[in-house]
């Protein structure tokens, strides 16, 4: 006979871990978290001091900042002093500019965004089951059955933190309303089409030359690049987003194009890198899904349909794309996790 849990959370990314953390704070122990990957964190991935997934937060991301303070995790300002580079096109002269020092700087998490994930995980480590891919969600009347690749789980209430587009590929029995299915299919998955690059150097040569490390060029091999030196200032990195048009190149050809481009604007020191690493999120099955869905406009997140409860108030959708505000940001993930906790535990403000 299957063990019945009071709560089942699908996904051990930021949203799911926040919901679990809130349940634990309330003294709740009867829950489990099912994660398809062999690691926690979802689209938060810090490797070799490089945040290949979610990275920045802003001063107005109050829920996230409050959580970080509660967990005693510090933040620091994104480095932006010196000349920044704007490349309109290969045919136009380079444009240099400096950031407005009067404007609040973006912030980063000391230790990388993985620090937030690891800290939340410590309180619920015994509740997480890794490498468990959810295939279907069935409403069985008084409970919900979750079918995975190797077994089934039964829960009184379920929180799905899967990106809506990935959730749309699950087998729901009975079927969800057509409006919900359509909304899921039409919601772009944040990060799914991104290629990130991180380049380690022995010294922050760009700072010594008066550069901020910021390079912007929408038609360039790297569309955005930023200083990614750590808080301790002993690991020197430039990190950014690769132009998707380079996806079809071999990794060697892509690296050559990117380094040659950066050399032109930051100097020959770029070629003296210690390591060069990439993360193409379109190749991540549990992010991009069955097909690549590039999106060049600002995606619309927070569809009100995701604020409703389904399967007789037993099923809740969560995740940054479902957040009514700041969808596609760390803040949106935190807010959706808190909202899911309130919905399943009947908590109110």
pLDDT > 70? residue 126: yes
Assess if residue 21 is contained within a domain: yes
Domain that holds residue 12: 4-44+115-190+299-345
Same domain, 196 and 268: yes
Q: What is the pTM of this model?
A: 0.95
pLDDT of residue 267: 97
Same domain, 97 and 199: yes
Residue that finishes a domain, picked among 261, 286, 311: 286
Angle made by CA atoms 75, 242, 239, in degrees to the nearest 5: 30
199 vs 201: CA distance, rounded Å: 7
**What CATH number is associated with residue 265?**
3.90.660.10
Assess if residue 60 is contained within a domain: no
Assess if residue 328 is contained within a domain: yes
Cβ 271 vs Cβ 263: under 8 Å: yes
Same domain, 244 and 322: no
Assess if residue 69 is contained within a domain: no
Same domain, 304 and 216: no
Locate 121 and state its tokens.
């995980």
Nearest partner of 42 among 67, 18, 74, judged by Cα: 18
Residue that finishes a domain, picked among 236, 259, 286: 286
User: CB-based contacts of 36: which residues, under 8 Å, 6+ apart?
Assistant: 11, 131, 132, 133, 134, 286
pLDDT of residue 299: 81
213 vs 246: CA distance, rounded Å: 21
Over range 253-270, report the average pLDDT: 97
Per residue, the 3-state secondary structure of the chain, as one string, reads CCCEEEEEEECCEHHHHHHHHHHHHCCCCCEEEECCCCCCECCCCEECCEECCCCCECCCCHHHHHHHHHCCCCEEECCCCCEEEECCCCCCCCEEECCCCCCCCCEEECCCCHHHHHHHHHHHHHHEECCCCEEEEEECCCCEEEEECCCEEEEEEEEECCCHHHHCCCEEECCCCHHHHHHHHCCCCCCCCCEEEEEEECCCHHHHCCEEEEEECCCCCEEEEEECCCCCCCCEEEEEEECHHHCCCCHHHHHHHHHHHHHHHHCHHHHCCCEEEEEEHHHCHHHHCCCCCCCCCCCCCCCHHHHCCECCCCEEECCHHHCCCCCCCHHHHHHHHHHHHHHHHCCCC
Same domain, 125 and 268: no
Same domain, 205 and 277: yes
pLDDT of residue 90: 76
Assess if residue 138 is contained within a domain: yes
Same domain, 36 and 123: yes
Domain count, the chain: 2
Nearest partner of 156 among 13, 3, 334, judged by Cα: 3
pLDDT of residue 349: 47
pLDDT > 90? residue 273: yes
Cα–Cα distances in angstroms (integers) from residue 198 to residues 13, 287, 328, in the given order: 22, 20, 21
Same domain, 20 and 101: no
pLDDT > 50? residue 104: yes
Same domain, 202 and 174: no
Same domain, 104 and 241: yes
Nearest partner of 9 among 120, 169, 91, 173, judged by Cα: 120
Assess if residue 164 is contained within a domain: yes
Residue 106: count of CB within 10 angstroms of its CB: 16
Which of 232 and 289 is assigned the larger pLDDT? 232
Q: How far apart are the first and last CA of the chain?
A: 38
Over range 169-196, report the average pLDDT: 96
Assess if residue 62 is contained within a domain: no
pLDDT > 50? residue 107: yes
pLDDT > 90? residue 187: yes
pLDDT tens readout for residues 334-343: 999 999 999 9
pLDDT > 70? residue 292: no
48 vs 252: CA distance, rounded Å: 20
pLDDT > 80? residue 291: no
72 vs 159: CA distance, rounded Å: 27
Same domain, 137 and 280: no
Same domain, 269 and 307: no
Over range 9-23, report the average pLDDT: 98
**What CATH number is associated with residue 11?**
3.50.50.60
Residue with tokens 């808190």: 338
pLDDT tens readout for residues 198-217: 999 999 999 999 999 999 99
Assess if residue 54 is contained within a domain: no
């Amino acid at each position: 006979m299957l063990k019945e849990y009071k709560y089942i959370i699908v996904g051990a990314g930021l949203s799911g871990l926040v919901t679990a953390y809130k349940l634990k704070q309330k003294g709740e122990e009867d829950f489990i978290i099912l994660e398809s990957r062999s690691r926690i964190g979802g689209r938060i991935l810090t490797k070799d001091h490089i945040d290949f997934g979610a990275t920045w937060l802003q001063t107005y991301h109050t829920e996230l900042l409050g959580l970080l303070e509660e967990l005693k995790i510090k933040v620091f300002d994104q480095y932006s002093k010196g000349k920044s580079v704007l490349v309109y096109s290969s045919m136009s002269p380079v444009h240099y500019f400096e950031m407005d020092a009067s404007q609040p700087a973006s912030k980063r998490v000391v230790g990388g965004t993985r620090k937030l994930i690891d800290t939340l995980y410590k309180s619920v480590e015994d509740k997480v089951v890794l490498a468990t891919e959810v295939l279907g969600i069935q409403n069985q009347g008084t409970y919900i059955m979750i079918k995975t690749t190797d077994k089934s789980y039964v829960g009184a209430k379920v929180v799905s933190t899967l990106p809506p587009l990935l959730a749309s590929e699950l087998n729901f029995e009975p079927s969800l309303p057509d409006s919900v299915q359509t909304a899921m299919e039409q919601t772009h998955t944040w990060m799914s089409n991104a290629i990130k690059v991180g380049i380690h150097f022995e010294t922050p040569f760009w700072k010594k030359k008066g550069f901020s490390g910021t390079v912007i060029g929408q038609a360039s091999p790297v569309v955005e690049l930023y200083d990614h030196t750590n808080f301790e200032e002993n690991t020197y990195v430039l990190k950014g987003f690769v132009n998707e048009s380079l996806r079809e190149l071999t990794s060697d050809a892509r690296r050559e194009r990117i380094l040659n481009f950066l050399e032109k604007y930051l100097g020959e020191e770029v070629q003296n890198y210690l390591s060069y690493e990439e993360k193409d999120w379109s190749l991540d099955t549990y992010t991009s899904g069955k097909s690549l869905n590039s999106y060049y406009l600002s995606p619309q997140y927070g569809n009100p349909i995701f604020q409703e409860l389904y399967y007789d108030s037993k099923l809740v959708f969560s995740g940054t794309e479902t957040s009514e505000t700041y969808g596609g940001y760390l803040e949106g993930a935190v807010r959706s996790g808190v909202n899911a906790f309130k919905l399943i535990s009947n908590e109110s403000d």
